C-alpha cells in the first residue's frame, strides 16, 4: 500500500531579492536594534550624572547657585580660568566638602549597580545582587571585628595607631574578599556538580557563617552595636579625598572589566551549555567577572557601608526601560547608579539636616516605590 | 564497523570510532562507530534513554569522551572551542529563551565564534545575521522579543542562530518535538532545503518515526547506549526491529518518501 502525503512548501520560497535584504539591514541599523546602546539613552545617562552631581554640589545647608557651582567646577579644570562668583568660603564648601562626597557617591553607585547587573547576568537570576556571594557578610564581619578590636584595645593601639577610619575599611575590604574567595572555592571547584546554582548556595552558606561570627562579636562587645549598625546602614563618609582615591582605582579597573565583558554576558544568557556550543567559555567568564564584581563591590562597601538596593533596582530599571541586552544594561547601570546614589546621598544629608539619615534607608525608602511604579507601568513585563 | 555505502558522496563530515561517554560513573554510550558523509542527512532514533542526545552533544564537543571523533578530517579533541563552533552548530532540544531578547540579537549570538571575546560585532556579522533572517523569512520578526513568538516561529529562529554560525555540520536534537504536525513538516522541509542548497550535513535525533524516515537518507537505531541498526530508513524501520527495541506494536507501511510507522493497539 502506498500513501502519499501533502507537502507544504513555505521553505521553498524564492531566494530573497536585494531589496528585502536591504530592509532587514535597515531594521538592524535603525530603531529595531535593541541590543545596541542608543544615543538617546547614552545622553540621558550622561545628563542624569551631570544633574545629580550638580544638585549634590549646589544643595545643602548652604544653598549655592548651580551656575556658580558649574563655573567653579570648570575653574578646577587645568587651563580654564574663570571666576565662579562664589565667595572663598562657598568655593571651599564645593571643592573641599561636597565634591569629594559627590564623587564618592558617583563611584560607589556606579560600581554597585554594575556589579549587580553583572551578577544577574552571570547567574541568570533576577534576584542576584552584588552581595550574592558573601561580600556583605564578609565586609560586615570585618568591620565589626575592627570596631570591636578598637573598643577592646583602644583606638590608637590597633593598626599601628592608624585608628578606625583606616582600619574599618581595610578590615571590611579583606573580609569581603575572603568571603567571596571561600564561596568560589566551595561552590565552583572540586565538587562533582559545578553549576551556577551550587555557587549561589555556597554564597548562602558563607553568608550565614560570617553573619554568625559577626553576631557573636556584636553580642560579646555590646558597646560596638551602635557603631556597627551605623556602618551597616551605609554612609558616605566625608573624610576629604582619601576615600575617593581609595575606591577610584578599583572602580575604574573593575568597571572597565565588567564593561568589556558585556557582550559575553549576552552570550551567557542562553545558559552554559549553549554558550559553550557557540564557542564561548562561560566558566572562564564567570570567574573573571566574579573577581571583578566582587573586588569593585568590596572596595565600594569598605568606604560606604552596606548600601542595599542600588545593585538590584538600578539594573532592573534599566532593563525594563532601555532593553535587556547587557550591552545596554551595564553602561546605563553605571551612569544611572551613579546618579541615583549621588541623589540619595543628597537626601541623606539634607532631609533631616543637621542630622544624617543612613543612605541605605534613603535608597530603599525612595527606590522601592519608584521601582514598583516602573514594574507596573513597563510594557516589557 | 558499519557499511560505508556513502563513501562515494565525498569525504566524511563525521567519523566516529569506538566512542564511549561516561557521566557520573555511568556508561551512557559505548562502542559507537559512525560515518556521516558530507551533505548527508542522518537521523538517530531509539527509545528514551538510548543515548541519542548524549551522542549528539558529544559530537558537538560538549562532553568528554573516549575514542576518536573526527569532524571534516580534524580530531574533535584538538579543536579550539571557537574553531569548533565555526564548524558545528547545535540546536538543543529545548533551547533557553533569554527573557526580553530580540530575535535579531538572539541570531547575532550565532556570530559569537567570529567576534573577538572583548569586542563588538562587525559589519560582516551584521550582514550575516541580516542574510540569515531573510533566508528564513524572519525579517518581520527581527525586533520582536523571542518569547513572544509561536513555537514554529521560535524553531526557525533557533535554526537561524545555528545558520549564523556558518557551520557545515548541523546537529538537531529533536527539532520538531514542540511543534504541531504542519509546523514539523515546515521546519524539516526548511532544513532539507538548507542542506541541499548550502551543502550542510545534518544529524538529527527524532521521536516521530514516520517523519524521521521521510527526511533521513540514513538512519541509526540506538538502544542501551549502542548502535543496534544502521542503514536506509526502510532497512531500519522494520516491525521486528521496532518491536525488539521499542517494545512497540507497530505496522510499517510503504510510503512514497519512506516507510510509515503506525502504532497499533494490541488485538485480542
CB contact under 8 Å between A32 and B81, yes or no, is: no
pLDDT in tens, A232-289: 888 786 667 888 888 899 999 999 999 999 999 999 999 999 999 999 999 899 999 9
Which residue among B85, B182, B189 sits closest to A279, beta carbon to beta carbon? B85
Residues of A in contact with B193 (CB under 8 A): 11-12
What span, in angstroms and rounded, lies between the C-alpha atoms of B254 and B247? 21
Contact A85, A91 (CB under 8 A): no
Highest mean pLDDT among A67-71, A150-154, B24-28, B202-206: B202-206
Q: DSSP assignment of A278-335, as one string?
A: TT--HHHHHHHHHHHHHHHHHHHHHHH----SHHHHHHHHHHHHH-S-HHHHHHHHHH
CA A212, A217, A219, A222 dihedral sign is negative
Count Cβ–Cβ pairs < 8 Å, chain A vs chain B: 142
For chain A, report the end-to-end CA distance as a whole number of angstroms. Answer: 54
pLDDT at A8: 41
pLDDT at A379: 61
Residue B9's pLDDT band, with cuts at 50, 70 and 90, is very low
What span, in angstroms and rounded, lies between the C-alpha atoms of B77 and B71? 10
Contact A122, A265 (CB under 8 A): yes
Residues of A in contact with B127 (CB under 8 A): 25
Residues of A in contact with B133 (CB under 8 A): 24
CB contact under 8 Å between A324 and B112, yes or no, is: no
Contact B20, B31 (CB under 8 A): yes
Higher pLDDT among residues A316 and A188, named by residue: A316
pLDDT in tens, B144-160: 999 999 988 999 999 99
Q: Which secondary structure element, helix H or strand E, spans residue A228, and what is its range?
A: helix A225-233
Residue B268's pLDDT band, with cuts at 50, 70 and 90, is low
pLDDT at A191: 53
Which residue among A7, A261, A380 sits closest to B185, beta carbon to beta carbon? A7
pLDDT of A26 over the 70 cut:
no
Picking from A16, A32, A277 by the largest number of B CB atoms within 10 A of its own CB, the best residue to mutate is A277
Q: Residue B150 is placed in which grid cell?
A: 509561536
Q: Residue A196 is placed in which grid cell?
A: 551556577
Residue A373's pLDDT band, with cuts at 50, 70 and 90, is confident
Q: DSSP assignment of B74-130, as one string?
A: EEGGGS-HHHHHHHEEEE-SS----TT-BHHHHHHGGGGGGS-TTS---HHHHHHHH
What span, in angstroms and rounded, lies between the C-alpha atoms of A367 and A356? 18
pLDDT at A20: 47
pLDDT average, residue stretch A122-126: 87
Calculate how close chain B gets to A351, using CA atoms only, in Å. Answer: 38
Average pLDDT for chain A: 83
User: What crossing angle do the helices spanning A225-233 and A196-220 adopt, rounded to 10°?
Assistant: 150
The neighbour count for residue B32, using CB atoms within 10 Å, is: 24
CB contact under 8 Å between B95 and A276, yes or no, is: no
The rounded radius of gyration (Å) of the Cα atoms in chain A is: 24
The rounded radius of gyration (Å) of the Cα atoms in chain B is: 19
Chain A residue with Cα closest to B112: A278
CB contact under 8 Å between A263 and B115, yes or no, is: yes
pLDDT of B86 over the 70 cut:
yes
In A123-223, which ranges are continuous DSSP H helix? 135-153, 164-188, 196-220
Calculate how close chain A gets to B101, using CA atoms only, in Å. Answer: 6
Calculate how close chain B gets to A327, using CA atoms only, in Å. Answer: 9
Q: Degrees (nearest 5) of the Cα angle B54, B49, B232?
A: 75
* Partners of residue B23 on adjacent β-strands: B26
Residue A154's pLDDT band, with cuts at 50, 70 and 90, is low
Higher pLDDT among residues A328 and A187, named by residue: A328
For chain B, report the end-to-end CA distance as a whole number of angstroms. Answer: 42
Residue A87's pLDDT band, with cuts at 50, 70 and 90, is confident
pLDDT in tens, A165-209: 778 888 889 999 999 999 988 887 655 556 778 888 899 999 999
Strand, helix or coil for residue B33: strand
Q: Which secondary structure element, helix H or strand E, spans residue B228, and what is its range?
A: strand B226-231
State phi, psi for B221 to the nearest 5 degrees: -105, 120
Amino acid at each position: 500500500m502506498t500513501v502519499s502525503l501533502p507537502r507544504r512548501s513555505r521553505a521553498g520560497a524564492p531566494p530573497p531579492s536585494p531589496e528585502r535584504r536591504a530592509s532587514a539591514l535597515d531594521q538592524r541599523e535603525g530603531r529595531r536594534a535593541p541590543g545596541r546602546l542608543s544615543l538617546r539613552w547614552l545622553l540621558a545617562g550622561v545628563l542624569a550624572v551631570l544633574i545629580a552631581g550638580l544638585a549634590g554640589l549646589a544643595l545643602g545647608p548652604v544653598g549655592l547657585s548651580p551656575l556658580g557651582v558649574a563655573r567653579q567646577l570648570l575653574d578646577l579644570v587645568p587651563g580654564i580660568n574663570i571666576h565662579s562668583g562664589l565667595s572663598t568660603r562657598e568655593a571651599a564648601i564645593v571643592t573641599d566638602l561636597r565634591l569629594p562626597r559627590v564623587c564618592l557617591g558617583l563611584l560607589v553607585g556606579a560600581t554597585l549597580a554594575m556589579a549587580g547587573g553583572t551578577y544577574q547576568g552571570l547567574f541568570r537570576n533576577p534576584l542576584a545582587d552584588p552581595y550574592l556571594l558573601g561580600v556583605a557578610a564578609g565586609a560586615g564581619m570585618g568591620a565589626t571585628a575592627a570596631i570591636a578590636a578598637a573598643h577592646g584595645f583602644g583606638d590608637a593601639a590597633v593598626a599601628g595607631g592608624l585608628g578606625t577610619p583606616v582600619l574599618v575599611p581595610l578590615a571590611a575590604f579583606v573580609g569581603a574578599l575572603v568571603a567571596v574567595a571561600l564561596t568560589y572555592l566551595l561552590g565552583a571547584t572540586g565538587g562533582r556538580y559545578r553549576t551556577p546554582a551550587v555557587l549561589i548556595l555556597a554564597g548562602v552558606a558563607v553568608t550565614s557563617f560570617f553573619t554568625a561570627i559577626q553576631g557573636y562579636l556584636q553580642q560579646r562587645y555590646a558597646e560596638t552595636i551602635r557603631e556597627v549598625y551605623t556602618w551597616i546602614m551605609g554612609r558616605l563618609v566625608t573624610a576629604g579625598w582619601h576615600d575617593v582615591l581609595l575606591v577610584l582605582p578599583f572602580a575604574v579597573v573593575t568597571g572597565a572589566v565588567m564593561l568589556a565583558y558585556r557582550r559575553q554576558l549576552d552570550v551567557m544568557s542562553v545558559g552554559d551549555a549553549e554558550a559553550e556550543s557557540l564557542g564561548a567559555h562561560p566558566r572562564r567568564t564567570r570567574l573573571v567577572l566574579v573577581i571583578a564584581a566582587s573586588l569593585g563591590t568590596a572596595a565600594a562597601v569598605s568606604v560606604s557601608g552596606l548600601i542595599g538596593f542600588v545593585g538590584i533596582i538600578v539594573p532592573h530599571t534599566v532593563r525594563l526601560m532601555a532593553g535587556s541586552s547587557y550591552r545596554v544594561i551595564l553602561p546605563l547601570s553605571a551612569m544611572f547608579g551613579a546618579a541615583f546614589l549621588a541623589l540619595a546621598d543628597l537626601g541623606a544629608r539634607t532631609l533631616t539636616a543637621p542630622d544624617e539619615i543612613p543612605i541605605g534607608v534613603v535608597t530603599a525608602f525612595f527606590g522601592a516605590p519608584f521601582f514598583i511604579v516602573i514594574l507596573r507601568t513597563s510594557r516589557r513585563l | 564497523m558499519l557499511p560505508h555505502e556513502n563513501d562515494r558522496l565525498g569525504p566524511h563530515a563525521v567519523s566516529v570510532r569506538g566512542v564511549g561517554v561516561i557521566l557520573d560513573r555511568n556508561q551512557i554510550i559505548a562502542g559507537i562507530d559512525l560515518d556521516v558523509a558530507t551533505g548527508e542527512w542522518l537521523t538517530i532514533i531509539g527509545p528514551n534513554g538510548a543515548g541519542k542526545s548524549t551522542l549528539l552533544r558529544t559530537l558537538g564537543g560538549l562532553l568528554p569522551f573516549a575514542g576518536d571523533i573526527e569532524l571534516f578530517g580534524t580530531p574533535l579533541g584538538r579543536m579550539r572551542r571557537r574553531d569548533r563552533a565555526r564548524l558545528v552548530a547545535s540546536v538543543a532540544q529545548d533551547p533557553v529563551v533569554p527573557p526580553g531578547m530580540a530575535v535579531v540579537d538572539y541570531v547575532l549570538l550565532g556570530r559569537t565564534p567570529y567576534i573577538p571575546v572583548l569586542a563588538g560585532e562587525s559589519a560582516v556579522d551584521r550582514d550575516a545575521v541580516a542574510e540569515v533572517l531573510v533566508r528564513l523569512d524572519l525579517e518581520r520578526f527581527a525586533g520582536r522579543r523571542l518569547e513572544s513568538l509561536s513555537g514554529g516561529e521560535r524553531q526557525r529562529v533557533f535554526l537561524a542562530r545555528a545558520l549564523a554560525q556558518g557551520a557545515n555540520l548541523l546537529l538537531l536534537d529533536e527539532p520538531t518535538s514542540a511543534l504541531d504536525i504542519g509546523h514539523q513538516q515546515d521546519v524539516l522541509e526548511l532544513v532539507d532545503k538548507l542542506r541541499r542548497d548550502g551543502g550542510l550535513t545534518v544529524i538529527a535525533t527524532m521521536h516521530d518515526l514516520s517523519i524521521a524516515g521521510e527526511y533521513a537518507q540514513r538512519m541509526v537505531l540506538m538502544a542501551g547506549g549502542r548502535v543496534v541498526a544502521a542503514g536506509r530508513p526502510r532497512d531500519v524501520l522494520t516491525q521486528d526491529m521496532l518491536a525488539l527495541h521499542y517494545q512497540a506494536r507497530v505496522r510499517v507501511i510503504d510510503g512514497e518518501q519512506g516507510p510509515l510507522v503506525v502504532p497499533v493497539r494490541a488485538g485480542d
